Each structure stands twice: as structure tokens, then as C-alpha cells.
Amino acid sequence: MGEPAVLFKNVSRHFGDVKAVDEVTLEIQHGEFFSMLGPSGSGKTTCLRMIAGFDRPTSGQIFLYGQDVSNLPPYERSVNTVFQDYALFPHMTVEDNIGYGLMIKGAPKTERMKQVDEMLELVRLPGFGYRKPSQLSGGQRQRVALGRALINHPKVLLLDEPLGALDLKLRQQMQVELKAIQKRVGITFIFVTHDQEEALTMSDRIAVFNEGKIEQVGTPAEIYEHPASTFVAGFVGTSNLVSGEVAERVTGSDARFSIRPEKIHLATVDDKVDDDMFYADGKVRDVIYLGLYTRYLVELDGGGDLVVVEQNLRTTSMDVMKVKDQRVRLLWKKEHVRYVGG
Amino acid sequence: MLQRISTYLYLRPRLILLLLLLPPLIWFLVVYIGALISMLINSFFSLDSFTGQVVRQFTLQTYAKLLIPTNIQIFLRTTLMALTVTVACIIIAFPLAYYMARYASPRMKTVLYLAVTLPLWSSYVVRVYSWKLILAQEGIISWFAQLLHLDGLLNWYLSSKLLGGPSLSVSVTGIFLVFVYIWLPYMILPIQTALERVPKSLIEASNDLGATPAQTFRNVVLPLAFPGVVAGSIFTFSLTLGDFIVPSLFGNSSFFIGKAVLTYQGTSGNIPLAAAFTMGPIVIMIVYLLIARRLGAFDAL
């Protein structure tokens, strides 16, 4: 493996007493689609801004392909950003927006126009060059912002929650498209988001941020299947966290564990329990029908709740809505239980 | 009853708009446009030099009188003064407005707002007179210059034929200084408003795309602040064009448009010529606005 694209060495950023980023060490590889995932205020955006150069670390160093950029201004880093609000220049046409970086570099106009046209092609906006940003839809602005950043062939492209303002359909479409563009141009993408589904969909690896620290770095599957902490288990997807007395009744030990709702099987109380299974009996308190799947809230006999999700593939054993207030047995494989500390 | 009126109006949005706009519309048409038209008409009348009566008959005679070299010089002098005052106001106002819009804390911003507008609370004439004290021969500036042993420099400057005079208060420079002081708030506030509407992310985006702060200023900040600069300059430019108090109190005896209008109308009762004179600034302003539009000042509106 060569030089990492981005390297954080014990980077901290304090705003007064607030430790927005606290001793973060992180390596992002060349060509990766890397997501920084976390709730707002977790430090992910501050990390992104420090890579871009809008913010400087209070302590620690940031390297870009081996070069210490901690104290370089943004215009001396070959990193480009797609902003959350797109930040398109309202007084310029789409063409001039996309060509801005080249214009600043002093590229001749003919060369600039050629590359702008190529870029318009890449972001699928051919023929939109003469429009003003105000004449574009949200999704189109998004593409212009992407083209404006990519035309400079940055070593790393930073994306600050770029899909946040789009509606669900468009967002899903852009997710696929972004991933395809990243494959095509082969640039390292660093994507900041608070949407765990988005991170899971697009990323090669994800860093989960919480309170200025990284809780876990890993592939989407690792993060989802093996959450390293209570926080990750709760933030990425939904998880049932079971601890104390309730845990002891199920597993025989009071160690805290998490179990994904979709791993739990809903069965009747007289169902057989295999040796590789845990089980708990209870009463269905709530049923929420969500089309693709149904979510059940089950009150366990000895106290505590578990959320169960079942896909609406088969309506064999029970009709979903009739299950309410019924006694049920919850079954899940022992291997799906994650013991999480804390 | 009241509810029925409400319902009636609610269903007729155009009617309610008309009712709301009627008073300002009448005011605007009668007082503004009416006065302008009456002035325009008057400028096509003439003054009988023998009886001193206005002859109400269409003639271009007044305009012929208006366009004699002395008067042309007054127009040029006033326009030049208005331009220099405007440019000076822009140069002084921009950094302050930039600071207010970008860096000042909300508290600091309030303080600065107050500081900028505070002079407008007191009488214009009082403030202009106070400048008499500052600029007079034994005034504050010459006292200060003596203190710093710069009186030689001041005297050398005053000996300049074009800009100087016996003292600052009776020089073109004096007029210029007072104008800049008086109109500065009208430049700061529009620029500040325009800059306030430039999101920080645009400046970051420009830096991000490789532009140095200077390039960012030229390519992003300035074009977006331009409408504000033009709005401010409309104030400073037109106010300077029409003002008669400052040139009367300061400067030498050379005429400015406002002073000329006052003299013709007030002193000699030549209303047609005064009216024709007033058409001057209006024409200059129209030209000015056309140029501003050409430069794209109103594109962002």
C-alpha cells in the first residue's frame, strides 16, 4: 500500500472549551470512497474542513499524500469541496462556475471551454452551460458543484453532506451516480453524512464519529455486523441493547449485548428452541406496518422491550395486524449477538 | 359586518392591493412626478428680462442660456466633485462595511450601526458648520498640523491653484472633505447590506478552487457587492449633485449646480432658468444609471 491519501496524526480542534475534534488519528487510502458518519456536532464536518483548509488543527498534523498540509491555506491544497449548500457563484453562469478553477489557474479560454464541456457531460448536464444557478433545480445545482470541483482533478474530493437537501428519490439516484463517477475518475472521495443508510450504500470504509472522537473505522459490513461500541450499534441501523437483569435471563450472563431487529424471528410460544439459539417470551405491544416490512415492539415477560423487524414476504404464521397483544416467542441465533462494552 | 368586508376583500386580492397602494400612489404621482413635470414645463418658459415676469410660452431660449460655457463649467465641476466624493466614499466605506458584514460580532455590529447612523440624528446644518471650525484658518486641522510641524506641508498644499485656497475651509478640498463626511453613511449601509447577503461558503468555495484572497475579492466579493456599491453611489452622487449648503459655506465663489439653482430662483427669481438647471442633474443621473446598468449593477436585483 502506498502513501495514504489523507493521514490524521493526533489531530485536535478546540473551539474555546469545546473539543470539536479530540485526538483523532485516521488513515484514508488512495482511491477510497470514505465516509465520515456521525450525528451533528460529532466533529465530522470539522475534520472535513481541516482537510480542505478552512480550519486549522489546534494540535496534531494532517498529511495529504505525505505532505504536511496542517498550515496550508485552502488555495494551496489540491483538494476540492462540494459544499452542503453547493456554494455556486450566483453571478456566474454554469459554465463559468465549472470553469472557475481553471480560470484562476489562467488556463486559456479554448482549453477551459473544452474541459467545461467534458465536465458537463460527466455530470450529465450538457447544454446547461449558459444558465444561471438560480435557473437550476437542487439536483442540477448539486451536479454543477460536483463538476466545478472535479474539473481541477483534485487529489481528494471532499463532500459535505451534499445530498442533504435533495428529496429521497433524487438522493438515491445521486448516491448511485456519485459512486459511479468516483469509480470513473478514480479520485479519493471523502463523504460527510449523518445518514447511516447513505454511508452504508456508498462507502468502501466508514469512520463513525461521536463527540469529537472516532468510535470505529471499518467497511460497511464490519460496522453493521460488528459494532465496536454501544454508540455504533445504536447509531448505525437500529439495535436492541440488552443489559443487566434482562440480559442475564436470556444469555445467562449480565454482559451487555446488542441484537439487530431483523435477526430476531417472531414465533409462537410453543416453538422449539434449537441449541444455537437464544429466546425470550413476551407480548406484542405495538405493530407498525411499513409496507416493505413490519416493525413489532415486544414487551418481554421479565421486563424490557425488544424491537423486531420482519419482512412482509410471508404472511404464513400470523396475519401481521392480528399479532397485537398476542404472546410470542422471540428467537435468534447466538452468533448474531454482539457483546458491547460500556 | 366587519367579517363580511374581510371576506369581500379576501376574495378580491387585486382590490385590496389597489386600496393599499392608492395613498402612496397619489402622493407619488402628485408630489413627485407632478413636481417634476411642472419643473420640466417651467424650464421651457422664459423670463422677461425687462419686467422680471415669467413668460408662459414655449421657448428653447432658457436652454440656450443654460448651455453657455460658464454654466457648462458648473455642470462639469459639480459632476467631477460628485464623482470624486463617490469614489472616496466607496474607498472608505468598503472596508468598514466588509468588517461589519463578515467579522463583527452581533454586539459590535450594533455599536457600529449606531456609530454610522448617529451623525444623521443631528441637524445637517449644525454638522456642516462644525466643519467650519475644523477646516478654518485657525481651525483644528491647521492647529494639529502646526503641532506636528507639518504646517509647511499644509501651506504648500493650500498654495495649489486648483485644490487650495486661503484656508481649507475656502478651498475645493474643503468642500470635498465635508461632502465625504456628510454622505459616508449612505454608502456604508447599502454596501454592508449587499455583503451580508454573500454567504461565507462562497468565499470558502473560491479559496477551495485555488483563488487567493485577492482573486476571491475580485471575482466573487466585488461583483456580488457591486449592486450595493451602486446603490450607495446613487445616494452620494445625486446628493452631491444637488446640494447647495456645502458649496455656499465652504469653498471659493465658484458655483455648483445647487448653489446656481438657489441663486437663480431665490435671488433673481428666474424660475425657468433654475428649472432648466435642475434638469441637469436629472440628465446626469439618468446617464449614470444607464452606465451602472451596463456594468451589470442591477443584474442581481
pLDDT one-digit tens code per residue, A72-107 = 999 999 999 999 999 999 999 999 999 999 999 999
Query: What CATH number matches the domain at A240-339, 3.40.50.150, 2.40.70.10, 2.60.40.1730, 2.40.50.100?
Result: 2.40.50.100
Closest CA in chain B for residue A53: B208
Q: Are residues B199 and B256 in the same domain?
A: yes
Which of the residue ranges A116-120, A241-245, B144-148 has the most confident prediction, judged by mean pLDDT? A116-120
User: What is the residue extent of each domain of chain A?
Assistant: 6-228, 240-339
Beta strands A156-160 and A79-82 are parallel
Q: Are residues B108 and B11 in the same domain?
A: no
Residues of A in contact with B219 (CB under 8 A): 89, 100, 103-104
pLDDT at A317: 46
Contact B211 A100 (CB under 8 A): yes
- Residue A320, pLDDT > 80, answer no
Say if B59 falls within a structural domain: no
- CB contact B222 to A (< 8 Å): no
pLDDT at A70: 92
pLDDT at B165: 77
Contact B215 A149 (CB under 8 A): no
Contact A80 B209 (CB under 8 A): yes
Average of per-residue pLDDT across A297-324: 78
Say if B301 falls within a structural domain: no
- Measured CA to CA in angstroms, residue B192 lies from A13, B88, B97 at distances of 31, 16, 4
Residue A83 has its nearest CB partner, among B201, B211, B299, at B201
Say if B211 falls within a structural domain: yes
Q: Are residues B100 and B15 in the same domain?
A: no
Q: Do the first three CATH levels of A6-228 and A240-339 match, i.e. the same topology?
A: no
Which of A49, A100, A134 has the most B C-beta neighbours within 10 Å, making it the best mutation to test the interface with B? A100
pLDDT in tens, chain B (301 residues): 888 888 888 888 888 888 899 999 999 998 889 988 988 898 888 887 777 778 888 888 888 888 888 888 888 989 999 999 999 999 999 999 999 998 999 999 999 999 999 888 888 888 888 888 888 888 888 888 888 888 888 888 888 877 777 778 888 888 999 999 999 999 999 999 999 989 999 999 999 999 999 999 999 999 899 889 999 999 999 999 888 888 888 877 778 888 888 877 777 778 888 888 888 888 988 998 898 888 777 765 5
A interface with B, Cβ–Cβ below 8 Å? 52-54, 73-75, 79-81, 83-85, 87-91, 100-101, 103-105, 148-149, 152
Phi, psi of A282, deg, nearest 5: -175, -170
The CATH code for residues A6-228 is: 3.40.50.300
Say if B130 falls within a structural domain: yes
How far is the alpha carbon of A76 from chain B, nearest alpha carbon, in Å? 7
- Report yes or no: A6 and A62 within 8 Å, Cβ to Cβ: yes
Q: Are residues B8 and B127 in the same domain?
A: no
- Residue A342, pLDDT > 60, answer no
Contact B209 A148 (CB under 8 A): yes
Beta strands A79-82 and A265-267 are unpaired
CA distance between the termini of chain B:
42
Residue B188 belongs to domain spanning: 71-294
How many angstroms separate the CA atoms of B213 and A85, rounded? Answer: 21
Residues of A in contact with B206 (CB under 8 A): 89, 100
Q: Are residues B84 and B227 in the same domain?
A: yes
Phi, psi of B135, deg, nearest 5: -95, -10
pLDDT at B299: 65
Average pLDDT value for chain A:
89
Phi, psi of A278, deg, nearest 5: -100, 160
Q: Are residues B103 and B210 in the same domain?
A: yes
- Residue B255: CATH number of its domain: 1.10.3720.10
Which of A79, A81, A91 has the most B C-beta neighbours within 10 Å, making it the best mutation to test the interface with B? A91
A272 or B265: which leads in pLDDT: A272
- Residue A1, pLDDT > 60, answer no
Say if B221 falls within a structural domain: yes
Q: Are residues B117 and B183 in the same domain?
A: yes
Say if B257 falls within a structural domain: yes
Give the residue from A256, A279, A259, A278 showing the smallest Cα distance to A269: A279
pLDDT at A77: 93
Q: Are residues B113 and B201 in the same domain?
A: yes
pLDDT at A340: 77
How far is the alpha carbon of B204 from chain A, nearest alpha carbon, in Å? 7
pLDDT at B65: 83
Residues of A in contact with B220 (CB under 8 A): 89
Say if B58 falls within a structural domain: no
Closest CA in chain B for residue A92: B220
How far is the alpha carbon of B222 from chain A, nearest alpha carbon, in Å? 11
Say if B228 falls within a structural domain: yes
Number of domains in chain B: 2
pLDDT at A226: 86
How far is the alpha carbon of A82 from chain B, nearest alpha carbon, in Å? 8
